[in-house]
Chains A and B, each alone.
Chain A
Amino acid sequence: MVATNGTQRIVIEPVTRVEGHGKVTILLDENKKIKQVRLHIVEFRGFERFIQGRPYWEVPVLVQRLCGICPVSHHLAAAKAMDRIVGGEKLTPTAEKMRRLMHYGQTFQSHALHFFHLCSPDLLFGFDADPAIRNVIGVAAKYPDLAVQGVMMRKYGQEVIKCTAGKKIHGTGAIPGGINKNLTIAERDFLLKDLDQMIEWSRGALKIAKDYTVENLEKVAPFGSFDSNHLSLIREDGAMDLYHGNLRAIDAQGKKIFDQVDYQGYTDYIAEEVRSWSYMKFPFMKQVGPEDGWYRVGPLARVNACDFIDTPEAEAARKEFMAVTDNKPNNITMAYHWTRMIELLHSIEKIKELLNDKDLQGTDLVVKGDRRGEAVGLIEAPRGTLFHHYKVNDKDQVTMANLIVSTTNNNEPMNRAVTKVAEDHLSGVEITEGLLNHVEVAIRAYDPCLSCATHAMGQMPLSIQLLDHEGNVLDSRSKG
């Protein structure tokens, strides 16, 4: 590695075979002021080819290969699309509730993982804390009870998935038009056993996130924050619904841009802009345009966009959250953590509701109707709205697949967040590790999916580069 401009130049290049890695480039001007900041997320663009020619009924299983982080979300989004292909979108109660249970299990474990594993070290130790302790092991050392809770909550969510979807890698729970199994009494009782503990721990996690945000509001309110539009699925009565509904978009003040839009026609509302410097596209709302039509997705957007949450404790938490901004949308980037924990509690409340529903032991599992050639499946994945769009020919083969994943939907907001943080904290000062971590903290708030499943030994999915005004690398760091 070569030193340049009197500064040690340290470069750890991302391992090129790993797709889905991220890179932040911070370009300084001659006065060490921030000139430009960009978050590049390199997606692997071969999935459509992988799917083409495959029979449609294989797709809900195949798409799990797309992402080892949220295979259930892809599985369900694809299954919803294939429901329409077979004319079976009106599922039986057993099928729909089994899928919902699977989905809430996925959301529960994903949110728990993010909070305890990725975000809590920043909140508990501070953004500038020694990186040797600012990690999950540090949490384990200082807050062992909390660390164990994180592991066990994550494990519980995985058990819910296992009971509904089957094997971790070869899970086949959802099939076009339904589900391939119900929930046995033994499985139900197994999941009920630890349920109260999970609810209690969820309340605790929510309290940590809320207290942190409220007590540090002055610090976190401007941190990587900006006004934005928000997009999410919404139930017909305006309730938050993570599994199914119509699209609602609101602006930064809460004014509806569109509402109750059937996502089968999403291409009339959403377009994707290509920018030369990024492999990942930038979605925007057509009627607003690319300049101002970008939006946020995920927990913050969902809590902002919904009228209410249909479980009591999460609804009480939502009201408390919205009161901070006088019931206007909350545009604080760090508020993602608080809303994520509201959804954590909502998910476990939903799991409780479903486990006590006898429909889960029903035996009417699959429906079919008139065959279609094109369909869209959409779901609120843990990290945001996930679009799956397919065309299938009369030989039952997939001829087109288009996916807009949650992290792509958050592409512009994440870029704005890192830019804001760099301008506010890194401009004109000596860059320290703690300051660079501020950039990571802003990205982490969105819980992006950077590593898209390929992860053989030697991966390294994120790097940050600091460049001087001539483009020389001054500093860089990588993790993964």
Chain B
Amino acid sequence: MIADSAKILLMGFGNPGRVDDGLGPALATAVENLRIPGVTVDCDYQLMLEDAAEAAKHDVVVYADADTKGTGLYSFRRLHPVSSMSFSTHSLRPAAVLGLAHQLFGSTVKGYMLGIRGFEFNEYREALSPKAQESLAAAIEFIEPVLRTASFDEAAARWPDVCEADKNTDKVLRPVNEVEICKMEKR
């Protein structure tokens, strides 16, 4: 159980100019408008190195991003810090940001991933698709009480922890089916 007084950061990320990729920032805007005590809200196109320094200032960080897969409208999973590096992409995955927060700043921040189901990504349009708007509404309804009561682990219990292939992105020649097995085992 996380203390009610925990310092919480909600970080939405994505590109609002790419249709449903804007789900993360849209959720951040909605949560900001709720003005929940103890919750700081931020958003950006993608996660970067300095987000580790920001995460390290908090007890809990919730990352919100569009999800391309999944059967539900949203998912909420516990993240575990990992060491991962993107190749020439300049961005970091949430679990890697946590890893840096722990390693560089001695933080014990806990991380969670709110994945919001998106459907359209392949064009430039600054509007969510109708189906993504449904996902967004459901995700807001879900996350508000979680943030207000700091009941993160309880909320995440419905879903398996994030089992990212990230852990091994730097281990080369990794067969795709191995990644899939990892995901299936977790489910």
A interface list, Cβ under 8 A from B: 1, 8, 10-13, 15, 17-19, 22, 44, 46-47, 49-50, 62, 64-66, 68-69, 71, 113-114, 116-118, 121, 131-132, 134-138, 140-141, 144, 147-148, 150-152, 154-155, 158, 168-169, 433, 436, 440, 443-444, 447-451, 453-459, 461-462, 475-477, 479-480
- 23 A-B contacts, Cβ less than 8 Å apart? A10-B176, A12-B174, A12-B176, A50-B123, A121-B85, A131-B172, A135-B170, A136-B85, A144-B104, A147-B103, A152-B53, A155-B53, A169-B25, A440-B88, A454-B15, A455-B13, A455-B46, A456-B23, A456-B65, A457-B67, A457-B113, A457-B115, A462-B88
CA distance A117 to B91 in the complex (A): 10
Say whether A65 contacts B18, CB under 8 Å.
yes
Say whether A168 contacts B124, CB under 8 Å.
no
Contact of B135 with A by CB under 8 A: no
Q: For the complex formed, measure the closest distance between the CB of B137 and the CB atoms of chain A, giving whole angstroms.
A: 18
Contact of B27 with A by CB under 8 A: no
Contact of B99 with A by CB under 8 A: yes
Q: Which 8 A-B pairs have the closest CB atoms?
A: A65-B17, A68-B45, A479-B87, A135-B85, A50-B124, A137-B83, A155-B50, A456-B66
Residues of B within 8 A of A462 (CB): 87-89
Say whether A151 contacts B104, CB under 8 Å.
yes
CA distance A453 to B177 in the complex (A): 27
Say whether B171 contacts A457, CB under 8 Å.
no
Residue among B66, B100, B172 making CB contact with A151, cutoff 8 Å: B100
Say whether B90 contacts A113, CB under 8 Å.
yes
Residues of B within 8 A of A147 (CB): 100, 103-104
Tell me the interface secondary structure of chain B in the complex: loop
Given A132-B171, A169-B25, A450–B89 Cβ distance below 8 Å?
A: yes
In the complex, the chain B residue whose C-beta lies closest to that of A16 is: B122
**Segment 139-175 of B: residues with Cβ below 8 Å from A:** 169-175
What are the interface flags for B11-32 relative to A under an 8 Å C-beta threshold, 1 for contact and 0 otherwise?
0011111101101110000000
CA distance A248 to B40 in the complex (A): 47
Given A62-B17, A135-B84, A10–B173 Cβ distance below 8 Å?
A: yes
User: How many of chain B's residues touch chain A, expressed as a range?
Assistant: 35 or more
Given A10-B175, A50-B124, A479-B169, A456–B14 Cβ distance below 8 Å?
A: yes
Q: For the complex formed, measure the closest distance between the CB of B158 and the CB atoms of chain A, giving whole angstroms.
A: 18
Say whether B45 contacts A140, CB under 8 Å.
no
CA distance A150 to B104 in the complex (A): 11
Say whether B45 contacts A168, CB under 8 Å.
yes
Residue among A1, A148, A447, A455 making CB contact with B15, cutoff 8 Å: A455
Residues of B within 8 A of A66 (CB): 17
In the complex, the chain B residue whose C-beta lies closest to that of A66 is: B17
Say whether B170 contacts A46, CB under 8 Å.
no
Q: For the complex formed, measure the closest distance between the CB of A23 and the CB atoms of chain B, giving whole angstroms.
A: 12
In the complex, the chain B residue whose C-beta lies closest to that of A433 is: B172
Say whether A456 contacts B118, CB under 8 Å.
yes
Say whether B88 contacts A444, CB under 8 Å.
yes
In the complex, the chain B residue whose C-beta lies closest to that of A131 is: B170
Say whether A114 contacts B90, CB under 8 Å.
yes
Residue among B14, B49, B99, B100 making CB contact with A455, cutoff 8 Å: B14
Say whether A137 contacts B100, CB under 8 Å.
yes
CA distance A46 to B66 in the complex (A): 21
CA distance A148 to B105 in the complex (A): 8
Q: For the complex formed, measure the closest distance between the CB of A456 and the CB atoms of chain B, giving whole angstroms.
A: 4
Contact of B59 with A by CB under 8 A: no
Residues of B within 8 A of A64 (CB): 17
Scoring A138, A151, A462 by chain B CB atoms within 10 A of each residue's CB, the highest score goes to: A151
Say whether B43 contacts A1, CB under 8 Å.
no
Residues of B within 8 A of A22 (CB): 88
CA distance A62 to B15 in the complex (A): 11
**Segment 85-136 of B: residues with Cβ below 8 Å from A:** 85-91, 96, 99-100, 103-105, 113, 115, 118, 121-126
Say whether A11 contacts B89, CB under 8 Å.
no
Scoring A64, A150, A453, A475 by chain B CB atoms within 10 A of each residue's CB, the highest score goes to: A453
